[in-house]
Chains A and B, each alone.
Chain A
Amino acid sequence: MEPTDVNNPEYYHKVVDCQYACPAHTPVPEYIRLIAEQKYTEAYMINWESNVFPGILGRTCDRPCEPACRRGRVEEEPVAICRLKRVAADNKGDVKKHMPVAPFKPNGKKIALVGAGPASLTVARDLAALGYELHLYDEQKAGGGFMRSQIPSFRLPESVLDEEVNYILDLGIHTHFNTYVKSLKSLLDSDYDAVFVGSGAPKGRDLDIPGRQEAAANIHIGINWLSNVAFEHIHKIGKKVIVLGGGNTAMDCCRTSRRLGGEEVKVVVRSPFAEMKASPWEKEDAMHEDIPIMDNHVPKTFVVENGKLKGMTFEKVHAVYNDKGKRSLVPTGEPEVFVEADDVLVAIGQENSFPWIERDLGIEFDKWDMPVVNETTFCSTNPKVFFGGDAAFGPKNVITAVAHGHQAAVSIDLHCKGEDLNKRLSPFVNLVSQKMGIHEWSYDSAVVEDVRYVVPQADKKVTLKDRKKEVELGFDGLTGFKEAQRCLNCDMQTVFSESKCIECDACVDICPTACITFTENADDESDLRNMLKVPATNKTQDLLVSGVLPTKRVMVKDENVCLHCGLCAERCPTSAWDMQKFFYSVTKASKVCH
């Protein structure tokens, strides 16, 4: 194999599994270390710079970082990255003094942002300090989008949401709330230099089966119902509730039902339990609130008696997989199951909907009626119109919307300056030695053996009575410290310089997880993987391959289970190994922290 090109920042970036997996590439180990040092404000600002909503995400993020966490490959559970973020948000000091302060010197450009969700708010934050005049439109009475209408208060208190939305609105954003944008054409006809569409995926899927019309009064579309609860149009639900669907919206629906009078709330889902779309912890939380999840049940009919909903019938199925792993649900042949219900919530997915976008504006739509959007620039086929968040590529999550927002803001800035959207600046990267002494590093290199700490919850008796009472209490400072210590500091890179290596094998002998091998080279990567001390079977993890050494061998390091403990560098007599901190920050339109 050719020597690894470590000058390409993406090599070391990939080693920081959590950061690499995060759509916004938040520098996770960096802020976790700050939390361990009780520097909560600094930890918050690292997050705010990168993901804009640390307090919100620290409670509600889909956590793509956690399944990626190296700790999960070394022991059972990853670091509780998400809930550590909350520790920073809960304990921070004055963060406002580190944020840009309006008013800014106007640059004469005007931008319209449609939808006040995370994508638009991110664009607004990134562009505000550059002097853009930003107009934010939303049909709701306050900013936040789905974060406000869909995420129940017992998971995300309104105060947290308001605080972080206001950090952005305070940057001098012109808000147009209670304003539904009916026509994109009219926006484009006004004097906006660009329009950003962050209108989400606002349409809940319905279930057209017998009895749907007759029972309409007691059948609710999940996302609409949650929104009505959030804006206090709905205050109660029947005693017996069926929630259809297996995603996180279904989990929010069933748990909200329990708080609005639902006593026998059941989630019924077509797929097997393990394949449900909901995050495992959301399923756990639902079951903890005495909500059974009935899997492998396909809805057949709404049963209506005397014009009133009585319940639903389901067909039992089991999953069968073909050679390609494609799943089909095959009826088991058992009799249909009847489940009683006073109300049914349908949470089986949501879709994009752009009735307000005229089709003659130069914006191309594909066969699924989705706008054609460039995945790098987030520009549509109309150079003045940009998309981001769920509106761009369908329903995802908050952190993805934020990541889109950053890129769209860069594009809008380039567009307004008349520059090429594809000439984007490289990410900011830095790589600095952490050596302080023979056995001393500037980071806490010892690897603790603690298993993952559980986030404490408030008593169920209390939380089920009050829709707004937050269930999770968050880690206290000490537990937060202990959990933070579980982080393996994967951004402390093991940097190898072959010119210094004397091939004494000290690193090979000391490495606790047998990552390092000195071997003859191989042409083929899979051959080389098999030649290592422990064969490198995890192909998602790269090999660090050195140039040829004096003995004609190469050094190969399997990045898979490296603990970043620094022992290779401590035992290296010539500093051919060094622990160097890698910092990677996605390019943003403006510098927002100081």
Chain B
Amino acid sequence: MTYIRPKFRHPELPKNKLGYSVDFYEGALSTLCAGCGHDSISAAVVEACFDLNIEPHRLAKLSGIGCSSKTPAYFLSNSHGFNSVHGRMPSVATGANLANRDLIYFGVSGDGDTASIGMGQFVHAIRRNLNMVYIVMNNGCYGLTKGQDSATADEGSKSKAGSVNPFQAIDLASLSLELGAGFVAQSFSGDKKQLIPLIKAAINHRGFAFINVISPCVTFNNNPGSTKSYDFVRQHVEATATLDFVPEMEEITTNYNEGSTQQVKMHDGSSIRLHKIAQDWDPQNRISAINAIQKARSEGEILTGLIYIDEELGELHEVLQTTDTPLNQLTEEVLCPGSEALSEINAGLR
């Protein structure tokens, strides 16, 4: 019997620029159900952070409550972490980000944590364009309480027990587009080839980066009739484009057909290279993005990939014009000008 992951790793594991191999980015052994989509997302996060050469201490994981929100324990053990209250992760992230703008904020939430109890917090994090990655591990059910329909369960989707969901679903990607998020993507836990570059791009995006990841609940929502099962999702995904994340130092060597390829420059010099599949879709045009996602929805398909990106949108610190030095590093001497300065101000008001 084992709940212990052996310490041995493949002796030929590659190292990244920091000299770490991928196991340095791993977390504890998952206690989620075997086959849970969330574990694949965790593995994608590990892979993305390894590839991006992120120093683990430069990243903070934040989460709420739920199966999804347990996952930060299962990746990046060497990073900061804050497992907060149900639905309140955006507030904690906002506070942390304002105090220390130097860290990468990586929020993990679920469909319950975001679309139900945390909806009020979620929309305001977008409204403020908080500089963070916000991943929703979306399985359309409350897996931790035996699989009741969640707010993202599609109308007509059948539960494991056989009941059909009578309510409309909240489409988190459409909602974030509507609210003006600067980075909106959708993906599937079973497609790491797409998910890993999306996570990399999201980390490098300045501002709120939202990724809605369909992540099947293998125990309670992987039955025939469910619209969030492995089989259903595989049969109904339609990608906007295949994409590569290109770090700034890498020269672009692959030649794609003119017209079908689009390169989106990111503020830090890196870029996303898209090999487009969807017609009449421009990831930098919000209306075309909304059209594309609605069109796919009306056809019963799930649009995945990068959906919308705006690299010009100012993030919260820019809007508030805070100091470049993180607030938590400002000393009393810098913050408090002293009694002489106070008297001067007071004198000026006399």
Chain A: residues with Cβ within 8 Å of the partner, total of 39
**Cβ A514 vs Cβ B9 within 8 A:** yes
Bound Cα distance from A35 to B174, whole angstroms: 63
B-facing residues in A544-588 (Cβ within 8 Å):
550-551, 561, 563, 565-567, 570-574
Contact B234 A449 (CB under 8 A): no
Q: Which residues of A contact B122 (CB under 8 A)?
A: none
Contact, CB under 8 Å: A447 / B40? no
Tell whether, in the assembled complex, residue A446 and residue B8 are in contact, meaning their CB atoms are under 8 Å apart: no
Min CB–CB distance B78 → chain A (angstroms): 18
Q: Verify A513–B35 contact, CB threshold 8 A.
A: no
Check A567/B5 contact, CB under 8 A, given A509-B43, A513-B10.
yes
Asked if B3 and A534 sit within 8 Å, CB to CB, the answer is: no
How far apart are A444's CB and chain B's nearest CB, in angstroms?
8
Q: Chain A residues with Cβ under 8 A from B8's Cβ? A: 74-75, 447, 449, 512-513, 561, 563
Asked if B259 lies at the interface with its beta carbon under 8 angstroms from chain A, I say no
Binds B, one of A210-218, A345-353, A498-506: A498-506
Whether A506 pairs with B40 at a CB distance below 8 angstroms is yes
Give the complex CA separation of A114 and B139 in angstroms.
75
Interface residues of A in 523-548 (CB under 8 A from B): 534-535, 537
* Chain A residues closer than 8 Å to B216, beta-carbon distance: 504
Cβ-defined contact, B1 with A563, below 8 A:
no
CB neighbours of A513 from chain B (8 A): 6, 8-10
User: Within A260-282, which residues are at the interface with B (CB < 8 Å)?
Assistant: none
A377 beta carbon closer than 8 Å to chain B? no
Which of chain A's residues have a CB closer than 8 A to the CB of B234? 503, 550-551
On chain B, the number of residues with a Cβ less than 8 Å from chain A's Cβ atoms is 35
- Flag whether A440 is at the interface (Cβ < 8 A): yes
A441 part of interface (Cβ distance < 8 Å): yes
Chain B residues closer than 8 Å to A573, beta-carbon distance = 33-35, 218-219, 222
Q: Mark B1-21, 1 if CB is under 8 A from A, else 0.
A: 111111111111110000000
B67-99 vs A: 1/0 string, CB under 8 Å?
A: 000000000000000000000000000000000
Interface of B is mostly: loop
Q: Which of A440, A445, A509, A550 has the most CB of B within 10 A?
A: A509
Q: Tell me if B2 and A502 are in contact (CB < 8 A).
A: no
By the criterion CB–CB under 8 Å, are B7 and A449 in contact? Answer: yes
Q: Whose C-beta in chain B lies nearest to the C-beta of A572? A: B34
B268 at the interface (CB under 8 A from A): no
Contact residue among B2, B43, B189, B230 (Cβ-Cβ distance under 8 Å from A567): B2
B39 within 8 A of A: yes
A508 at the interface (CB under 8 A from B): yes
19 residue pairs of the A-B complex, CB under 8 angstroms, read A74-B8, A74-B11, A439-B3, A441-B1, A446-B2, A446-B6, A502-B35, A504-B40, A506-B35, A506-B36, A510-B5, A513-B8, A515-B10, A534-B14, A550-B234, A561-B11, A565-B6, A570-B2, A572-B35
Q: Which 8 pairs, one residue from A and one from B, show the smallest C-beta to C-beta distance? A: A573-B35, A447-B6, A509-B43, A504-B35, A505-B40, A446-B2, A513-B10, A571-B34
Instruction: Give the interface of B toward A (CB within 8 A).
Output: 1-14, 29-30, 33-37, 39-40, 42-43, 189-190, 192, 216, 218-219, 222, 230-231, 234
Taking A502-B222, A512-B5, A573-B219 as known contacts, 12 extra A-B pairs with beta carbons closer than 8 A to each other, sorted by chain A number, are A73-B11, A74-B11, A439-B2, A446-B4, A502-B230, A504-B36, A505-B189, A506-B35, A510-B30, A513-B10, A565-B2, A573-B33
